[in-house]
Chain A
């Protein structure tokens, strides 16, 4: 079992309840897409699975261990096996792509190796292979601030590919890419998960991409799991109910229509 959440709830410091009573089990090698309206708690759920957030209720079990019961050292080793792909990858603008990708293995390398690699990349071939799968091999020695939003997202994905994580978590990994590239990139991630038998969880805005690439779909709404179905059993009715507000979008005189959600990817 790669992921097992039991009755997980999360309340932010400002009192907003982001997740309530979430139960989710994901077996090893499963590929799962998380869909749902903006603000439903998709990112919170993924950050919780990446141990970047501690649940305020319930139990979290990742790769057979309970991260919040572990000692600091053991938790660090567990974290090195989890790979989170960020929607806007947090990469320093002046860092070179090769360094940004090699940083994926910092959790596995001894400290001296990581520091040495900063002065002179120790495994440029490994970084180039990861980038080549995403069609970015020519950017190996560019600086991050010279890349577009979509290219940066692919550098972030290349870092997790290079990390060889056992649980790949992707938060809107293709939001800044055109449809063809987005589909290709999700294909790369799926093949990576299949070939190494690792688990892949991705949150996606584009429902058709989720249905096309993932055998299992989880709908999240208001911090709860609305449905958890195989992709072929997801009905238009279920989707309509999941996105009810956004799809009906009836502007009432009291409250102006919600502004279209802008996904801005900072250049770095």
Chain B
């Protein structure tokens, strides 16, 4: 009897689902490649390669005249300011929404093994829906909209980042809160603690590092996004790149790309520093 159960017990019950999922993923990916008309051979085509080559060739040497560097410095500061101000506003949107949307602080879930009552879940839905609406429209679309509304300049970029990133941060904060150990917060709620205090004492210590690192990463994304939005007139480095590209000033573009690299490197180091402090 023992040997019979031993052979039947050796078959990995997870093997079949894994195989099916792999096949399914491949079957879904293949039409995707076809639909997007990805054709790498086009890159190596004679004419295209020559055009790209001459454009990239103009990148060297990067422009480093005093006047240009001053301009670059001001544009970089503007980009950083757009990203930071946008993130600050996004954070103000995200934190209350995340607290409202997360299931961790559900008092009705306490006595129900962690599942909130149906009406509590229904109340969380509008908040989730709001977050979905905020982030489903790309920041570039918001930027175009705000450029119409408030005119050319950084304000449009700040507002666009605040809205889209508010939606993203809110969703991810809520999910980080749900992914950490829920028992400390539940124990506090069961001892009569207010929800916000239960969050601060029970969830935040476990979730803070993750939330912080995601916020810094989003800040890094906001820097890149503010550059893209510069192309539609929302100020900063993007606007400068747009101008330089139109003038085929490869050296200037190269300088600005190097500045990007430095900014992303800075964000990465900052994230690492903050994470080390918190863990």
Residues of A within 8 A of B (CB): 12-13, 50-54, 72, 76-84, 86, 89-95, 99, 103-104, 106-109, 111, 114-115, 118, 163
Contacts and interface: CB of A to CB of B under 8 A. Distances in A.
Interface stretch (B30-38, B107-115, B123-131, B216-224): B107-115
Interface in B167-195: 181, 183-184, 186-194
A50 B201 CA distance: 20
A90 B187 contact: yes
Given A51-B190, A52-B190, A90-B186, A111 B197 contact: yes
Contact of B205 (A53, A94, A107, A108): A94
A266 to B, nearest CB: 9
A84 B187 CA distance: 8
Contact of A114 (B110, B184, B186, B193): B193
A78 B192 contact: yes
A104 B113 CA distance: 22
A104 B191 contact: yes
Given A52-B190, A77-B192, A82-B191, A106 B181 contact: no
Contacts of A76: 107, 192, 194
How big is the B interface, by class?
20 to 34
B186 to A, nearest CB: 7
A111 B196 contact: yes
A106 B184 contact: no
B191 A80 contact: yes
A81 B193 contact: no
Contacts of A115: 196-197, 200
B206 A84 contact: no
A107 B200 CA distance: 13
Nearest to B202: A92
11 contacts: A51-B190, A52-B110, A54-B111, A79-B189, A86-B187, A92-B205, A106-B191, A107-B194, A111-B196, A111-B197, A118-B201
B198 interface: yes
Contact of A54 (B112, B181, B191, B206): B112
Contacts of B206: 92-94
Contact of A92 (B107, B184, B186, B194): B184
4 closest A-B pairs by CB? A107-B192, A80-B192, A90-B183, A106-B193
B228 to A, nearest CB: 37
B198 to A, nearest CB: 7
B216 to A, nearest CB: 19
Contacts of A109: 197
Nearest to B206: A92
A118 B200 contact: yes
Nearest to B278: A94
Contacts of B186: 52, 90
A21 to B, nearest CB: 20
A99 B188 CA distance: 12
Nearest to A100: B201
A93 to B, nearest CB: 7
Contact of A79 (B112, B183, B192): B192
B192 A81 contact: yes
Contacts of B111: 51-54
Given A51-B111, A90-B187, A103 B201 contact: yes
A205 B113 CA distance: 25
A51 B278 CA distance: 34
Given A81-B192, A108-B192, A114-B197, 5 more contacts: A52-B186, A77-B192, A94-B278, A106-B201, A115-B200
